[in-house]
Structure 1
Amino acid sequence: MPIHLIWGDDYEACNREIEEIIQKVIDPVWKSFNHSQIDGNDPKQNFRALEEVQSAPLGSGSRVILIRRSPFCNGCSIELANKLEQTLKLIPDNTHLILNNINKPDKRLKTTKLIQNSIQSNPFSKEISFILPLPWDVNGQRNLVKNILHRFNIKMNHKTIDLVVESLGNDSSLINTEIQKLRLFSEAVNKNLNTNEPQEISEEIVKKLVQNNSTNALQIANFLLKDEKIIVLEKIQTLLKNGEPALRLIATLTGQARGWLWVHLLDSQGHLDVKEIATLAGIANPKRIFVIRKQIQGKSLEALLELMKKLLKIEASIKSGTNPINSFKDNLLTESKFLTNN
């Protein structure tokens, strides 16, 4: 009864891992009979999945039941939890249950403990996570690029990797696409070389071939602090045209503004210990406090509050169906006490 617990916000890597399992265990001739994908947001489908996973595959190969947005490790009903406990004992050896969710499993839940114990007792089961590095985690972004380079048998020097990071940030899907393009180019120009050896990609080639997507939400946030509204709107428009989800963009900007506001408020109240401030502000990495302090130097609390109000209005406007770029324009271009100095 192999169980695969796959979680994290790197959709590209999660989907690749899921697809590799499917291709490995399912006979393509019987795939239409032996592959089911379930929406974990629907309680009825979850119960159906637990019924299906008790069935042996038809024909040759194995069966795969994939539950997207799986609720089992992040909170589900008592009835569903009881059904899972009964089902785990009845899954055939050649039926694979794949549980996929963006969120980290909650180890306090009984269902999580049951699933993780089942994984530990079966050598063909596994739990694997794919977490995107945060936008300010440059080392994490470098490691993300290195892992993808290794998978495509490509090597780059440190400077070239930094160029990729600068151009593409932590967009795993885009990095994957651009590095595949670099690999194809490398194969085309090195036909006579040993293809088993990693092909080195130079900085010059990356500059020519890799689309520069260096505009990101953190850059936009910094321009907001400087009250560079026109630049902000231009960069927002660029991101939206490149497929950046508007709600994800506003969520990042709101998170940044909330951090600035909390640090300013706690500093003004005499909280000087960065670990204490990080805990109270909900910031995972205390070292970010030093960066935030530098960013908000000379900014008033009233101005940061005003910015926060604007961003919340933009979020509400987008959620109500207004065109995202219009939501940004209508709220950011209105006059106010915007980021005035103390």
Structure 2
Amino acid sequence: MPIYLYWGEDDFAIQQAVGKLRETVLDPQWASFNYDKISPEQPDAAIQALNQAMTPTFGAGQRLVWLVDTTITQHCSEDLLAELQRTLPVLPKSSVLLMTCRSKPDGRLKSTKLLQNHADVREFSPIPPWKTDQIVQQVKQAAQEVGVKLTPDAIELLADCVGNDTRLLFSELKKLRLFGLDSQQALSADTVAFLVTANTQNSLQLAVAIRGADTGKALGLVADLIDRNEPALRIVATLIGQFRTWLWVKLMIQSGERDEKAIATAAEVGNPKRIYFLKQEVNSLTLPKLSATLPVLLDLEVSLKQGAEATTALQTKVIELCHIYK
């Protein structure tokens, strides 16, 4: 399909996908003639992209026209819609039109529906931090792509360390690849622990410290995460995901559910085998305490988005959360 729409907030993953598309579409010797990157600041950017996509290629390979940060799927004038309806169905096979944007396409718009009919639409959004099984799978795929052999334990640990940050994942994998160049064996979890900064793992440790009402350890982990430049909103997202999972597991257990697959489905845990360990983790917790946690975390998220000072806000709410579990 010569038309692509990439959308989502994972800028690094989109850049990776664009790079792969360029390698597939363009002949290196003719790339400078057949590649156009059109930014939204350019006048009539969308019209210009359509016109360029209709232009015959020079030399070998195909033409690639990249319309960056397009707003076509958020608002589209009648004139532009008419041009899209006229051009997209007759786009030459020698041209590839790529459109990228961060916001989710508005499915109510005629322009979005038109693209859904004619384009390959792909989402590039970060995996929610609590969907650990999907993050592990992402690490496996990325390791294969980069050419790094990891043991299963090393994959699990790396997933804990980098979380859903694809840029950090590829950066750490490249470091691990260089370290293991002279070895034919898969790198172990000990090697990963030695080389990789465990930001997300510390966020999960922070959740455990809060659950155990260990205020001193929790505040120490907050300071450590801030010192490592971990974004406060990412810390909060990890905490929300972890406590949400614990809440659902506890709720299902108290409702009398014994089927681990059913509990896993309700808690959005991809691997039902994890439920056994999650049951142990929530065994000493009560529903009222877990239920009281999420409003505090959501209030923290709102305050950070409104510009609150990250360290102070995190420290204050962490102390409040630890008091809940005393």
TM-score of the superposition, structure 1-length normalised? 0.69
Change (3 A) 1:138 1:84: same
Q: Is the 8 A contact 1:50 1:87 kept in 2?
A: no
Aligned partner of 1:36 among 22, 38, 45: 38
CA distance in 1: counterparts of 2:251 and 2:133, whole angstroms? 30
Q: Is the 8 A contact 1:5 1:99 kept in 2?
A: yes
Question: Does 1:178 find its partner at 2:189?
Answer: no
Question: Does 1:143 find its partner at 2:137?
Answer: yes
Query: Match of 1:65, as an amino acid?
Result: W
Aligned partner of 1:235 among 214, 221, 224: 221
Q: CA RMSD in A?
A: 4.4
Change (3 A) 1:257 1:183: closer
CA distance in 2: counterparts of 1:127 and 1:321, whole angstroms? 34
Measure how far apart 1:201 and its partner are. 4.8
Measure how far apart 1:174 and its partner are. 1.8
CA distance in 1: counterparts of 2:306 and 2:127, whole angstroms? 31
Measure how far apart 1:51 and its partner are. 1.0
Question: Does 1:330 find its partner at 2:303?
Answer: no
SS in 2 for 1:155: coil
Change (3 A) 1:62 1:164: same
Question: Does 1:152 find its partner at 2:113?
Answer: no
Q: Please show how residues 249-328 of structure 1 align to structure 2 within 5 Å.
A: 249-261=235-247, 270=255, 272=257, 283=268, 285=270, 287=272, 293-328=279-314
SS in 1 for 2:15: helix
CA distance in 1: counterparts of 2:284 and 2:93, whole angstroms? 64
**Which one scores higher on RCO, CA 8 angstroms, separation ≥ 6?**
2
CA distance in 1: counterparts of 2:134 and 2:251, whole angstroms? 30
Q: Which runs of 5+ in 2 are unaligned?
A: none
Matched residue count:
314
CA distance in 2: counterparts of 1:138 and 1:335, whole angstroms? 23
Q: Which runs of 5+ in 1 are unaligned?
A: 40-44, 120-125, 191-198
CA distance in 2: counterparts of 1:278 and 1:186, whole angstroms? 36
Any idea what the Cα deviations from partners look like across 1:175-212, whole Å, max 9, x if unmatched? 2112222333445x58xxxxxxxx54533654544444
Q: Please show how residues 69-108 of structure 1 align to structure 2 within 5 Å.
A: 72=73, 76=75, 79=78, 84-89=84-89, 91=91, 93-101=93-101
In the other structure, the counterpart of 2:5 is: 5
SS in 2 for 1:215: helix
TM-score of the superposition, structure 2-length normalised? 0.71
CA distance in 1: counterparts of 2:187 and 2:248, whole angstroms? 43
Aligned partner of 1:54 among 37, 40, 50: 50
SS in 2 for 1:115: helix
Query: Match of 2:171, as an amino acid?
Result: T
Aligned partner of 2:231 among 234, 242, 245: 245
In the other structure, the counterpart of 1:118 is: 118
Change (3 A) 1:304 1:106: same
Q: Is the 8 A contact 2:89 2:118 kept in 1?
A: no
By percentage of residues, which structure has more helix? 2
Question: Does 1:225 find its partner at 2:211?
Answer: yes
In the other structure, the counterpart of 1:17 is: 17
CA distance in 1: counterparts of 2:125 and 2:317, whole angstroms? 33
SS in 2 for 1:333: helix
Measure how far apart 1:36 and its partner are. 1.0
CA distance in 2: counterparts of 1:175 and 1:298, whole angstroms? 34
Change (3 A) 1:114 1:334: closer
Q: Is the 8 A contact 2:293 2:321 kept in 1?
A: no
